């Protein structure tokens, strides 16, 4: 510590889970007189083993930004956002929403939330909004990242249950990564792949030659949206050759024979014609899967953000089931989620599914929740919420007039952004609750509620491998900003339903309620203990029905071959592929792909854009990647300025010429405010997740 200035010398440390991605690394926060002064990655935590990516290292530095929301802001008659007291803000919020609800019915006010609240806040928000305030509709930005995986698992397994543990990265001998640039999007998970001692085959299926593809043993640059044909053809070959683990299929699944018949039409030659991958290569991949002892399939946004994403995810689940690559070390069909608490949102946000995996449409489930929460069952909605895009459509049709947006940036991140912005302008009252008052969405708000951020409040996040980890308060929120949990409790009081939420006194007390809600469900955490127990155990995976100290915390699901459908079996689900809704044509000859640009940036840069270090690691102006052949034809070179336009909007970008993008395709990172001017609003029919990665665009030198 000789080189450390006195002001940074810690007198204590505490460990807590990072607040960015779903990896769920633990960071050791250095404290001086109870306040955070620095951090380093936690060496003993079973997730990150002493590693962190640049976002984690910079997690504290983004909290001191000048544009932190420090007081409630209310738009006055002149159109300016002006500071007001919490009392005035909360009275205005409740009066406005009540007035709208009384005039137009409970469906006229809704909320949009996030996968970045702690689990206890999500559960309180969902319960307050639906049972206390009487809202019918609320959804999360998790609709943009993992709804597809959640739906695929629920349909195939009977519950939204990612089956893996990160240890599987180190134990596979064949790792198939699909639509996942793990190196960049989940760098610590990639480190786990690199620690694998088995010299694994790493097969990357991705139209772009990403950093991960470059490090793979085999990169398959399939044509965008040919995934179904490709994976069904692998199943075709496995069936043709008899490379099926029939005992497993017969004992633990339903629907295989229909699937085997279905894939007869998906010959390698057909898949080759659709995907651009030679038939011999497809045969070789099928053989690799057959010969692999421990084959794991992993996917991320390239699959989830796809108009047929659910069926693509299930095409991998089917491959894992038919080869018996489930419930074993190094195996599985594994969805890697995006946000730090996407998994918490999947279980407890009470949006399109009732708490802990129950169903709003099921009277037994509603009664169970009412009994546990000690509220009249009539308070529980009898219908499912609209998903995100239909809430926005509700604004267009005039049925939704009041919206409460919590910790998400709709005006930047929603597909076909200008339309979303126009819709928010149509609202009678828009409330935005956020750490920063400068987000694109907060700038449109009638009322801004200042929220505490990561490190300024407590609770739990659940990571991609179902691990609860603890988040702690290691610094004071700025000004009058409050933890989201406190804001929700205040809203309950001002709404007049405080009594209903007396038991939800603190986040830790709320964990006790979540345990009760989970009892007997696949996500049962009745024995998870308190925050200190979770901390001491190095995080705890669900389910947890025994003392965390007594059970292995590198657990995978389905080791007993029992799935969550009533008959205990997994289902083979499949469907023919559909045509791309907006294929390139002569007017718009390129297909636009969007995605994460670098490990140093996160989503809409709301937080990461505040760090000088992270800004230095990433180009600040929007750029577009273009293949050299196309660039030559268009007369463009690297660092030229170009216009890129679609049927919905236009942006200016710096050109980066690179062979990592195939001819006929362009890539623009999602982090830039301009990117979603171009994207096409279309959705998976089962998960309602937006398909961000296929729209037709044109490019030319900028004037
Ligand atoms: Fe945080 Fe994810 Fe980076 Fe780990 S990989 S430090 S969880 S952002």
* Tens-place pLDDT, residues 644-684: 999 999 999 999 999 999 999 999 998 888 999 999 999 99
Q: Which residue is closest in CA terms to ligand 1's atom 3?
A: 53
- Do the Cβ atoms of 684 and 303 come closer than 8 Å? no
- Which protein residues touch ligand 1 with a CB less than 6 Å away? 18, 20-21, 23-25, 48, 52-53, 55-56, 187-188
Mean per-residue pLDDT, 334-352: 90
Ligand 1 atom at minimum distance from 48 CA: 4
Longest C-alpha distance within the chain, in Å?
73
Q: Which residue is closest in CA terms to ligand 1's atom 2?
A: 21
- Do the Cβ atoms of 678 and 653 come closer than 8 Å? no
What string of DSSP letters covers 132-186?
Answer: IS---EEEEGGGGTTHHHHHHHHHHHSS------THHHHH-SEEEEES--HHHHS
The pick from 41, 53, 62, 337 for probing ligand 1's pocket by mutation, whose C-beta has the most ligand atoms within 8 angstroms, reads 53
Ligand 1 centroid from CA 2, angstroms: 29
The pLDDT of residue 524 is 97
The pick from 15, 41, 56 for probing ligand 1's pocket by mutation, whose C-beta has the most ligand atoms within 8 angstroms, reads 56
The pLDDT of residue 333 is 98
* Tens-place pLDDT, residues 117-132: 999 999 999 999 999 9
Ligand 1 atom at minimum distance from 19 CA: 1
With a threshold of 0.95, tell me whether the complex ipTM lies above it: yes
Ligand 1 centroid from CA 56, angstroms: 5
Task: Give percent of the chain above pLDDT 70.
Answer: 100
The pLDDT of residue 2 is 59
Tell me the average pLDDT of the chain. 95
* Tens-place pLDDT, residues 431-450: 999 999 999 999 999 999 99
CA distances to 405, 559, 607 from 612, in Å: 28, 46, 11
* Tens-place pLDDT, residues 129-162: 999 999 999 999 999 999 999 999 999 999 999 9
Ligand 1 centroid from CA 298, angstroms: 18
Beta-bridge partner residues of 39: 29
The pLDDT of residue 35 is 93
The pick from 43, 187, 603 for probing ligand 1's pocket by mutation, whose C-beta has the most ligand atoms within 8 angstroms, reads 187
Ligand 1 centroid from CA 262, angstroms: 41
Ligand 1 centroid from CA 646, angstroms: 34
Q: Which residues make Cβ contacts (< 8 Å) with residue 575, sequence separation at least 6?
A: 228, 308, 311
Ligand 1 centroid from CA 644, angstroms: 32
The pick from 28, 41, 48, 58 for probing ligand 1's pocket by mutation, whose C-beta has the most ligand atoms within 8 angstroms, reads 48
Q: Provide the sign of the torsion angle of the four alpha carbons 302, 308, 311, 312, taken in this order.
A: negative
Mean per-residue pLDDT, 595-616: 84
Q: Rg for the chain (alpha carbons), in Å?
A: 25
The pLDDT of residue 605 is 83
Give the residue with greater pLDDT, 306 vs 605.
306
* Tens-place pLDDT, residues 54-112: 999 999 999 999 999 999 999 999 999 999 999 999 999 999 999 999 999 999 999 99
* Tens-place pLDDT, residues 267-277: 999 999 999 99
Whether the per-residue pLDDT at 246 is higher than 60: the answer is: yes
Ligand 1 centroid from CA 634, angstroms: 39
* Tens-place pLDDT, residues 472-514: 999 999 999 999 999 999 999 999 999 999 999 999 999 999 9
- Domains in the chain (CATH in brackets) are 73-145+341-550 (3.40.50.740), 147-335 (3.40.228.10), 590-701 (2.40.40.20)
- Do the Cβ atoms of 673 and 612 come closer than 8 Å? no
């Amino acid at each position: 510590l000789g080189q450390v200035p006195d002001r940074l010398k810690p007198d204590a440390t505490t460990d807590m889970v990072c607040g960015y991605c779903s990896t769920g690394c633990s960071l050791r926060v250095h404290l001086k007189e109870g306040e955070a002064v620095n951090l380093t990655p936690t060496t003993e935590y079973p997730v990150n083993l002493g590693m962190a990516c640049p976002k984690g290292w910079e997690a504290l530095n983004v909290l001191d930004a000048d544009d932190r929301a420090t007081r409630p802001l209310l738009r006055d008659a002149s159109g300016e956002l002006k500071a007001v007291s919490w009392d005035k803000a909360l009275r205005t919020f409740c009066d406005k929403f009540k007035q709208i609800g009384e005039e137009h019915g409970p469906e006229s006010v809704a909320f949009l939330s996030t996968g970045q609240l702690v689990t206890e806040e999500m559960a309180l928000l969902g319960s307050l909004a639906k049972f206390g305030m009487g809202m019918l509709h609320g959804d999360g930005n998790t609709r943009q990242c993992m709804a597809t995986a959640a739906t695929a698992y629920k349909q195939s397994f009977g519950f939204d249950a990612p089956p893996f543990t990160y240890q599987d990265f180190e134990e596979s001998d064949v790792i198939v990564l699909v639509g996942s640039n793990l190196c960049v999007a989940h760098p610590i998970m990639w480190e786990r792949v690199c620690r694998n001692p088995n010299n694994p085959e790493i097969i990357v299926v991705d139209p772009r030659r990403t950093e991960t593809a470059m490090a793979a043993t085999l990169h398959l640059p399939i044509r965008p949206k040919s995934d179904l044909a490709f994976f069904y053809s692998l199943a075709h070959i496995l069936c043709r050759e008899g490379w099926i683990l029939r005992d497993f299929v017969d004992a633990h699944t339903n629907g295989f024979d229909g699937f085997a018949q279905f894939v007869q039409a998906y010959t390698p030659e057909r898949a080759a014609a659709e995907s651009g991958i030679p038939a011999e290569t497809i045969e070789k991949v099928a053989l690799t899967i057959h010969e692999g002892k421990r084959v794991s399939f992993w996917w991320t946004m390239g699959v989830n953000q796809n108009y047929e994403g659910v069926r693509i995810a299930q095409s991998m689940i089917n491959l894992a089931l038919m080869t018996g690559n489930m419930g074993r070390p190094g195996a599985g069909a594994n969805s890697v989620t995006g946000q730090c608490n996407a998994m918490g949102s999947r279980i407890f946000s009470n949006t399109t599914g009732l708490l802990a995996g129950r169903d709003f449409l099921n009277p037994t489930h509603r009664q169970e929740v009412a009994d546990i929460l000690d509220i009249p069952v009539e308070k529980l909605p009898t219908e499912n919420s609209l998903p995100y895009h239909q809430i926005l459509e509700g604004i267009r049709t005039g049925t939704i007039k009041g919206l409460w947006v919590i910790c998400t940036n709709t005006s930047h991140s929603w597909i076909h952004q200008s339309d979303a912005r126009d819709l928010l302008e149509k609202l009678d009252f828009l409330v935005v609750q956020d750490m920063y008052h400068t987000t694109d969405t907060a700038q449109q708000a009638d009322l801004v509620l200042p929220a505490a951020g990561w490190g300024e409040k407590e609770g739990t996040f659940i990571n991609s491998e179902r691990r609860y980890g603890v988040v702690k308060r290691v610094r004071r929120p700025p000004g009058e900003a409050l933890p989201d949990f406190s804001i929700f409790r205040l809203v309950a009081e001002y709404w007049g339903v405080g009594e209903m939420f007396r038991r939800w006194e603190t986040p830790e007390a709320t964990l006790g309620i979540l345990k009760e809600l989970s009892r007997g469900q696949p996500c049962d955490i009745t024995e998870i203990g308190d925050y200190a127990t979770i901390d001491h155990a190095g995080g705890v995976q669900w389910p947890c029905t025994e003392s965390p100290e007594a059970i292995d915390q590198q657990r995978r699901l389905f080791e007993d071959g029992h799935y969550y459908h009533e008959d205990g079996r997994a289902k083979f689900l499949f469907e023919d592929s559909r045509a791309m809704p907006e294929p390139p044509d002569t007017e718009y000859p390129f297909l636009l792909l969007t995605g994460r640009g670098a490990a140093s940036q996160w989503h809409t840069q709301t937080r990461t854009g505040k760090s000088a270090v992270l800004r230095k690691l990433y180009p600040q102006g929007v750029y577009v990647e273009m293949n050299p052949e196309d660039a030559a034809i268009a007369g463009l070179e690297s660092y030229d300025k170009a216009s890129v336009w679609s049927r919905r909007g236009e942006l200016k970008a710096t050109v980066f010429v690179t062979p990592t993008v195939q001819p006929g395709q362009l890539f623009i990172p999602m982090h830039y405010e301009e990117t979603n001017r171009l994207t096409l609003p279309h959705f998976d029919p089962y998960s309602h997740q937006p398909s961000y990665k296929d729209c037709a665009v044109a490019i030319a030198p900028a004037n």
